[in-house]
Structure 1
């Protein structure tokens, strides 16, 4: 009986994955928005551009994945982290090639201070969407949580190359948590 149930779950997982369409291709749109963020002259202008990035990242492959994403994000905002995690687990199982599912699950894990789990999901999100600025900055924050300071600093610098207006830039400022160590006199 246990074997039959395990086979049923495996077949169901394969069928669920097979049903998820390819995520919308927003690479050129994100690249264009990154260029705009780099050219922005004010933080307010850059925030508007970041909002446009979020619109593209959260454009799920189909209605089912959009519902899972939206429900999970609403639960996270209401601090129902267990419920949000369940929604994002379902989203990742259904659409394993959709970067935002991993990014959102990472955010929940980060909020729960499970930085190792967050880092695993962020690495997957970045592998799927290399210019996902939010995942890159989330990776830096997770590495900071793990006290891997040099890696956190490098990850944040990479994110800031794409969008120099990220609020996390304050971590690299003098006195910030990722302020590079000074030279002893």
Structure 2
């Protein structure tokens, strides 16, 4: 714990001495995200929806400035390399530096999810969604985290909210006949 705090303090000190004492506002891609989600809902195939969905990541991962982008990119790279402690170090620094940037919380939640710390993931996903309510990946991650916590009715509601934005999500199969969330709340 002391090492993590020292690393976080070091990252923040580096940002401050580099002239990045305060994070600027995150780029506002709200209209673009809404337009892409509309196109996804109109997509006739999963393949088309997947390509459109990839463009959402370009918008969500557009960090507020170069320092934030570097922390995000390194955190995501470390996560991809299964260096979860290193990823958390970078994403903790990103969230501390840019507390109004939703993707910092979403990416940190993904690391927690991969570590099976669903409660921590859920806290970050809730923060990401407070900042970006139509972040379909955070909604889907919220559903999966609730599922991991065996909070099945809440998981179903979160997944339904995500599917209202993107009906092509792979997680939709959890609600399909035979899926673990299919009959929740229904008389069978």
TM over 0.5: yes
Does structure 1 residue 23 correspond to structure 2 residue 26?
yes
Structure 2: which 5+ residue stretches go unaligned?
Answer: 1-8
Residue 154 (structure 1) aligns with: 157
Question: Within 1, Cα distance between the matches of 2:187 and 2:159?
Answer: 21
Query: CA shift at 1:18, angstroms?
Result: 5.2
The two structures have a TM-score, normalised by structure 2, of 0.88
1:84 paired residue number = 87
2:122 counterpart residue number: 119
Q: Which residue of 2 aligns with 1:175?
A: 178
In structure 1, the partner of 2:4 is none
1:98 maps to: 101
Give secondary structure in 2 for the equivalent of 1:22. Answer: coil
1:134 corresponds to: 137
Distance 2:180 2:121 in 1: 19
Which residue in the other structure is 1:5 paired with? Answer: none
1:37 aligns with 2:40: yes
User: CA-to-partner distance for each residue in 1:127-177, whole Å, 9 max, x for gaps?
Assistant: 000000000000000000010000000000000000000000011111112
Does 2:53 match 1:50?
yes
Q: Partners of 1:18 and 1:173 in 2: how far apart? A: 48
| Distance in 1, Cα, partners of 2:177 & 2:109 | 28
- Give the count of matched residue pairs: 173
Q: Which moved more, 1:64-73 or 1:15-24?
A: 15-24
> In 2, Cα distance between the equivalents of 1:101 and 1:129?
12
Query: Separation in 2 of the partners of 1:39 and 1:147?
Result: 33
| Equivalent of residue 165 in structure 1, options 163, 168, 187 | 168
Q: Tell me, which stretches of 5 or more residues in structure 1 are unaligned?
A: 1-8
TM-score of the pair, normalised by structure 1: 0.89
